[in-house]
């Protein structure tokens, strides 16, 4: 009679119910619920959407034209009678509740213990029964088309191991010449047998009689005591399991990984704790409301989410360590946003799963997210392109931070490869920022990655140089290259390649064994000076291009 009883638990504001719907199933103490046979158990969404009892009482069947009989206990219709019984059970007013039971022709032990029967009925209803009160007739004559006798209405069907038991109300004489609706004597006679299946059980029954019947957040005192005991036992077992796990790591000399120890002592232990508590939750014989929260798997989803985010931290942390060991420390800057993205996906999946377990319409939410995701994707298209560009740059590594490169027409040192752009420090000491999407598609020349630097020159000898002098220059340069420590002997060469109009051209081709540009310039200077010495020692000179200038009005030479 949860619909019924939620109404009598007070006017809780709808906003407060939504904000605290995780615990909403527990905020209405002592409520009784009815469940129709074959229907699913109530979910948190069902409990949040319950109409307050004051609103339920105002609901009238517009098809009813007959006057409702007046009665001190408001038993003129099936609905009002059930509401009154629910109110009496909620407030444990068993003296009043007896007036809603048809005690005719029931066993003597039931007639002699009406309060015990009502107590058992409340526990059965709390644990096993749920119905929408609006389905109960508001007509003084009850439902006409339910296939039952005109004086009977069915409220719910409860499945038991022995078969299906109908929960019935029945129209009976009130002893004053009128007729009122009461819980059928057939149903009242079934209460002891139903309690055997849906009651607290032997241990719970003893504890409930020993401790005060105090409700708190949907559970009575004995259930809280047992739940706390289960939680303490689960904590001890989870602590032992995780300590054994850490000890095994130490035996395998893996204690150097503090992340694994943190993972074991945090999310892993919490998940083991929750699983143990869930495995023993039924021992406390929870009510339908507590069971609804249990079925929503709220804490379990939190534990699993924490576990997966911990695994993400472990995986990306280990990947970062390997990158640093491989000398690719710069790429670790991508791990943080990548890990955050994976965590966001895990969180979204967890929230969707949680809302589905709570009973909300996830399909409509996903449709809304899909439309919103398209809009966000279009708005963030450039940002996504730049992020992909950053991933490409870090994965392919055409350049690294500190490399001297030429990208397009820009020559400079790479100072930063961010998530949005790459920054170059030019030779003029200015900063050039290039979006990653464009930078990754450029033709990039990485000058730092050279293993040596080319030294290529053309030596021009005067055209009056004799063949012996040319040979002396060639032999001198070759000998100098062979003895020079900074020149790679292969394929260092000098060749007489051309007769020019004003000079003999010699081509020099060699590599300087350095990647430092300053060292390269020092070697070039040394080589140039030595070549000048060789030319001078051969008795010739470098050719200087001759230019003739004729002044205006001056006669041309004959």
pLDDT in tens, 110-119: 888 888 889 8
DSSP conformation letters of 209-273: HHS---EETTEEHHHHHHHHHHHHHHHHHHHHHHHHHHHHHHHTT-TT-HHHHHHIIIIIHHHHH
- The CATH number of the domain where 433 resides is what? 2.30.30.60
pLDDT averaged over consecutive 10-residue blocks of the chain (558 residues)? Answer: 40 37 35 43 59 49 56 85 88 88 88 88 83 81 81 86 87 84 89 88 85 80 90 94 84 66 87 91 83 81 90 82 69 70 86 79 64 57 74 78 87 85 90 88 86 90 91 93 88 89 90 88 93 93 71 57
Same domain, 112 and 236: no
Same domain, 94 and 194: yes
Same domain, 324 and 392: no
Same domain, 437 and 358: no
- The CATH number of the domain where 459 resides is what? 3.30.70.100
In a domain, 129, yes or no: yes
Six token digits for residue 18: 């939504």
Same domain, 136 and 11: yes
Residue 419 belongs to domain spanning:
384-446
pLDDT in tens, 232-259: 999 999 999 988 888 887 776 654 567 7
In a domain, 206, yes or no: no
In a domain, 543, yes or no: no
Same domain, 50 and 128: yes
Distance CA 466, CA 472 (A): 10
Same domain, 440 and 457: no
The reported pLDDT for the residue numbered 151 is: 84
The reported pLDDT for the residue numbered 549 is: 60
In a domain, 526, yes or no: yes
Same domain, 132 and 153: yes
Cβ-based burial of 501 (10 A; exposed 0-12, middle 13-18, buried ≥19):
exposed
In a domain, 520, yes or no: yes
Domain boundary at 375, 410, 425, which?
A: 375
Measured CA to CA in angstroms, residue 502 lies from 111, 447, 543 at distances of: 135, 36, 7
In a domain, 30, yes or no: yes
Distance CA 170, CA 186 (A): 9
Same domain, 458 and 497: yes
Domain total of the chain: 4
Same domain, 255 and 336: yes
Same domain, 66 and 194: yes
| Secondary structure element (H or E) that encloses residue 196, with its range | helix 185-198
In a domain, 558, yes or no: no
Same domain, 126 and 149: yes
Six token digits for residue 168: 């019935």
In a domain, 425, yes or no: yes
Distance CA 118, CA 289 (A): 20
């Amino acid at each position: 009679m949860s619909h019924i009883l939620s109404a009598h638990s007070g006017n809780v504001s709808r906003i407060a119910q939504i904000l605290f719907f995780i615990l909403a199933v527990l905020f209405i103490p002592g409520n009784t619920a009815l469940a129709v046979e074959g229907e699913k158990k109530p979910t948190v969404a069902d409990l949040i959407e319950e109409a307050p009892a004051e609103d339920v009482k105002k609901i009238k069947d517009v098809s009813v034209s007959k006057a409702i009989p007046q009665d001190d206990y408001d038993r003129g219709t099936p609905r009002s009678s059930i509401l009154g019984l629910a109110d009496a059970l909620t407030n444990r007013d068993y003296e009043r509740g007896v007036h809603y039971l048809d005690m005719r022709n029931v066993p003597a032990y039931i007639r002699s213990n009406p309060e015990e029967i009502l107590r058992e009925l409340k526990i059965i209803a709390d644990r096993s029964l749920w119905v929408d009160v609006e389905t109960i007739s508001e007509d003084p004559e009850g439902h006409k088309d339910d296939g039952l006798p005109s004086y009977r209405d069915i409220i719910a069907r409860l499945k038991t191991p022995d078969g299906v038991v109908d929960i019935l109300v029945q129209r009976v004489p009130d002893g004053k010449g009128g007729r009122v609706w009461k819980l059928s004597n057939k149903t009242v006679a079934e209460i002891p047998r139903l309690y055997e299946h849906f009651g607290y059980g032997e241990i719970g029954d003893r504890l409930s009689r020993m401790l005060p019947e105090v409700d708190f957040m949907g559970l009575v005192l004995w259930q809280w005591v047992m739940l706390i005991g289960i939680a303490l036992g689960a904590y001890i077992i989870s602590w032992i399991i995780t300590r054994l796990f850490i000890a095994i790591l130490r035996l395998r000399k893996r204690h150097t990984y503090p992340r694994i120890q943190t993972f074991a002592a945090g999310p892993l232990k919490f998940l083991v704790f929750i699983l143990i508590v869930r495995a023993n939750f039924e021992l406390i014989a929870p009510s339908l409301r507590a069971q609804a929260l249990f079925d929503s798997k709220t804490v379990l989803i939190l534990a699993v989410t924490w576990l997966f985010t911990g695994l993400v931290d472990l995986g990306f942390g280990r990947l970062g360590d390997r990158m640093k060991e491989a000398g690719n420390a710069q790429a670790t800057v991508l791990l943080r946003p990548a890990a955050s993205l994976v965590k966001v996906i895990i969180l979204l999946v967890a929230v969707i799963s949680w809302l589905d377990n709570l009973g909300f319409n996830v399909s409509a939410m996903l449709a809304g997210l899909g439309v919103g995701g398209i809009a966000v994707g279009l708005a963030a298209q450039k940002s996504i392109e730049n992020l992909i560009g950053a991933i490409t740059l870090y994965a392919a590594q055409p350049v690294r931070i500190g490399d001297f490169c030429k990208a397009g027409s820009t020559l400079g040192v790479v100072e930063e490869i961010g998530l949005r752009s790459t920054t170059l420090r030019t030779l003029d000491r200015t900063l050039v920022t290039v979006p990653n999407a464009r930078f990754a598609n450029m033709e990039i020349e990485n000058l730092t990655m050279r293993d040596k630097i080319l030294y290529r020159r053309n030596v021009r000898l005067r055209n009056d140089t004799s063949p012996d002098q040319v040979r002396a220059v060639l032999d001198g340069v070759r000998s100098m290259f062979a003895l020079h420590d900074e020149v790679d002997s292969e394929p260092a060469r000098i060749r007489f390649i051309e007769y020019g109009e004003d000079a003999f051209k010699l081509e020099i081709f060699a590599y300087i064994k350095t990647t430092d540009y300053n060292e390269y310039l020092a070697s070039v200077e040394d080589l140039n000076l030595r070549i000048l010495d060789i030319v001078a020692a051969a008795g010739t000179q470098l050719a200087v291009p001759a230019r003739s200038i004729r002044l205006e009005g001056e006669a041309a030479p004959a």
